[in-house]
Structure 1
Amino acid sequence: MQQMMPSSSEVNVFEQRGYLIGKKIGKGTYATVHLADFVDGAGPKKLRLACKIFDKEKAPKDILRKFFLRELDILTKIKNPHIIQAHSILQRGPRVFIFMKYAPNGDLLNYIKVNGAVVETQAKVWFHQIASGLQYLHSMNIAHRNLKCENILLSGKFNAKITDFGFARFCTNEDGDVVLSQTYCGSTAYAAPEVISGIPYNPKMSDVWSLGVILFIMLNASMPFDDSNMRKLLKDQMNKNWNFRSSVTDTLCSRAKHLIRVLLEPDPILRLSLSKALKHDWVHDNELSKSKMY
């Protein structure tokens, strides 16, 4: 991935604009992510950012057209407190530099690996934040299509923010008609059964399934399904063959269990809608605003 490193000329150009690109902190198939700082000429204060570098010449044309250009279009249209905000998008030659707000407390999956299952009071806060960010996207007719714990970042104040719009797409065409998705994308462990089945699917409802998987993982510190065998995975999903861990099943309240069950409903028509999930008794029990840990 050496070709994704910023060249000395690029470093110089961005420094003149106040952007200081630092070490690499992540990489994908066609992009790398670096730490960065932005220094406003009006003052000495630095703003910590993450910089995603994408080389359009290195990516296949179908990937470029179908995903990356769509991602750029979406990033310029969204602004919400529960979504990682793009600071600026700059291009130099074939390479695009996407500067985004940096989340110093890492992603939700790493948090769970280090700390174990999330206590219910905090899980409520994070679930509400993630679901609210998703509701905003859906109100813009945008489906994320890759919701997973790794794509939920934790800010300096431990607020949850959705990131990575590489698989996001608009759910309607130019005439405003609903368009079903036919692309298998995202992580298998979080993919809804209709996605696994390879049939045209409503991407908003598949997002809701993924949200249910995230909630299950937060409260159980484990995956609801084994994704090592696709055929068995689909069978388990359709048969609702998942269980809470013995260490949490007796302490988890019935309302939390019910919310997970109706989110992990294999029939997308019967699956709980996002608006109803946000109004669920568990989310509002014990006054959400007073249950925040951070």
Structure 2
Amino acid sequence: MGSDEKLGFLHGKYELGRVIGHGSFAKVYVARNLQTGKSVAMKAVDKEKVIRVGMMEQVKREISVMKMIHHPNVVELHEVMASKTKIYLAMEFLRGGELFERIHRRGRLGEEAARSYFRQLISAVDFCHSRGVFHRDLKPENLLLDEKGSLKVTDFGLSALSNGHLRSDGLLHTTCGTPAYVAPEVIGNRGYDGAKADIWSCGVILYVLLAGFLPFREGNIVSLYRKISRSDFNFPAWFSPESRRLISKILDPNPGTRITIAKIMDSSWFKKPERSNQEVQAGDEADAGGEVSETLNAFHIISLSEGFNLSPLFEDKKRVEKEEVIFATTRTASSVISKIEELGKTKDFMVRKGESRVMLQGRRSGRKGKLSIAADVFPVAPSLMVVEVKKSSGDTLEYNQFCTKDLKPALRDIQWTTSAAAATSPPAAA
């Protein structure tokens, strides 16, 4: 921690308060502007750690994008400061939390409330696109609420710009995002239109708002991607005919025929007259109160690769112990297996390998016998592999410690990370 943080002040302009979140690379404080008396969210990014894992480009990109975007439904960046060891981002302080948390607490929303949030989301995304900015990781966790309940889009760490990230074919090529919200063409790794990919993610969000769970839900990432590629989902009985028509047009697996934002705004469901805030809230309570046949347990699908997520820059979420982790990569199966084989030998495991599988067997007994781990690599799309690392036997805690301390760092450079962990490709490759 720098001396200014120890003293509780920053550059003589901000008084730092309590830490409200932290991750692998940064802390976020509530801070008070000494000149205006207003509260801000102050993100303090550790330069050394970010540089060490190759994420400085992501931080720079997020800052440059937020400086460009000034919209009522986008989190505002007030200013950026720096010291020798930290980058400080003074941002709009939002007291309402994540939209995800609201859905998690209450289940599905009523149609009026869902429409209100969706309109604000589309307004923000449309503005971003008009400025040549594609978000590429739209999901309820990246949608915050202010004290009045207004929606604010945040986390532009995976965003791309039309004037610098498009290849000669006019498309983006970096496979990134959060699995359950990613458009099928992004998974296909053949190039994609950033605006159309964002529209798909908006459609998934709208479905989640109205249903309380995801449209594409599978415990296996391969099956999940197959469902996404076919747009294989069902509507709950309570969805209105108009909402079904709109979502079907948004979740069109063919980006060439997928509905545009202009046509979304012109749809009858989107244009339906709004009631007063009190009426919307009352209707929301009544609509969402009793008919949720499925819960948000399905949200574990939101980031199936979370076991290998580099962790969002500014959040710290408690995780239960797991006996498998899943991540995606654009590397070959042989290169992944070689990496795991090399790690196993350095950590005193016996190693057996095949073309698409490698087994690690511990030589020493742990709390529940010898730890045994199996890693399988299989293709889900052209140039995209999924790796499943499972505990075959032994103690779950020892397995989790091995994954956290050894396996994650060893495979950091070959994984397609999700959520706030940006791909480390140079901007031109986006």
- Fold agreement, TM-score > 0.5: yes
Question: Where does 1:8-87 land on structure 2 (aligned, <5 Å)?
Answer: 8-10=3-5, 12=7, 14-15=9-10, 17-40=12-35, 46-60=37-51, 63-87=54-78
Rg bigger for which structure?
2
Is 1:110 the counterpart of 2:106? The answer is no
Normalising to structure 1: TM-score of the pair?
0.87
Match of 1:139? Answer: 130
Match of 2:270? Answer: 283
Q: Whole-Å Cα distance in 2 between the matches of residues 31 and 268 of structure 1?
A: 37
User: 3-state SS of the aligned residue for 1:22?
Assistant: strand
- For 1:197, the aligned partner's letter is G
Q: Whole-Å Cα distance in 2 between the matches of residues 208 and 174 of structure 1?
A: 19
Aligned 8 A contact 2:76 2:92 in 1: yes
Match of 1:194? Answer: 185
Q: Whole-Å Cα distance in 1 between the matches of residues 166 and 105 of structure 2?
A: 47
Query: Structure 1: any 5+ residue segments left out of the alignment?
Result: 1-5
Q: Per-residue deviation at 1:116?
A: 1.4
Q: Per-residue deviation at 1:119?
A: 0.7
- Which structure has the highest strand share of the two? 2
Match of 2:243? Answer: 256
> Aligned in 2, Cα 1:126/1:174: closer, same or farther, shift over 3 Å?
closer
> Aligned in 2, Cα 1:19/1:274: closer, same or farther, shift over 3 Å?
same
- For 2:274, the aligned partner's letter is L
With CA pairs under 8 Å and 6+ residues apart, which has the higher RCO, 1 or 2? 2
Query: Structure 2: any 5+ residue segments left out of the alignment?
Result: 282-430
> Aligned in 2, Cα 1:32/1:186: closer, same or farther, shift over 3 Å?
farther
Number of residue pairs aligned between Structure 1 and Structure 2: 280
Normalising to structure 2: TM-score of the pair?
0.61
Aligned 8 A contact 1:181 1:203 in 2: yes
Q: Per-residue deviation at 1:235?
A: 1.5
> Aligned in 2, Cα 1:221/1:180: closer, same or farther, shift over 3 Å?
same
User: 3-state SS of the aligned residue for 1:267?
Assistant: coil
> Aligned in 2, Cα 1:156/1:178: closer, same or farther, shift over 3 Å?
farther
Question: Where does 1:163-178 land on structure 2 (aligned, <5 Å)?
Answer: 163-173=154-164
Q: Per-residue deviation at 1:82?
A: 0.7
Aligned 8 A contact 2:5 2:16 in 1: no
Question: Where does 1:175-186 land on structure 2 (aligned, <5 Å)?
Answer: 179-186=170-177
- CA-atom RMSD, angstroms? 2.4
Aligned 8 A contact 2:137 2:159 in 1: yes
Q: Per-residue deviation at 1:124?
A: 0.9
Q: Per-residue deviation at 1:61?
A: 6.5
Is 1:269 the counterpart of 2:269? The answer is no
Q: Per-residue deviation at 1:12?
A: 4.0
Q: Whole-Å Cα distance in 1 between the matches of residues 85 and 170 of structure 2?
A: 31
- For 2:19, the aligned partner's letter is K
Match of 2:147? Answer: 156
Q: Whole-Å Cα distance in 1 between the matches of residues 2 and 197 of structure 2?
A: 40
Question: Where does 1:116-135 land on structure 2 (aligned, <5 Å)?
Answer: 116-135=107-126
Q: Per-residue deviation at 1:14?
A: 3.7
User: 3-state SS of the aligned residue for 1:57?
Assistant: helix
Moved more, 132-141 or 98-107: 98-107
Q: Whole-Å Cα distance in 2 between the matches of residues 178 and 24 of structure 1?
A: 45
Match of 2:280? Answer: 293
User: 3-state SS of the aligned residue for 1:32?
Assistant: strand
- For 2:2, the aligned partner's letter is S
Aligned 8 A contact 2:8 2:17 in 1: no
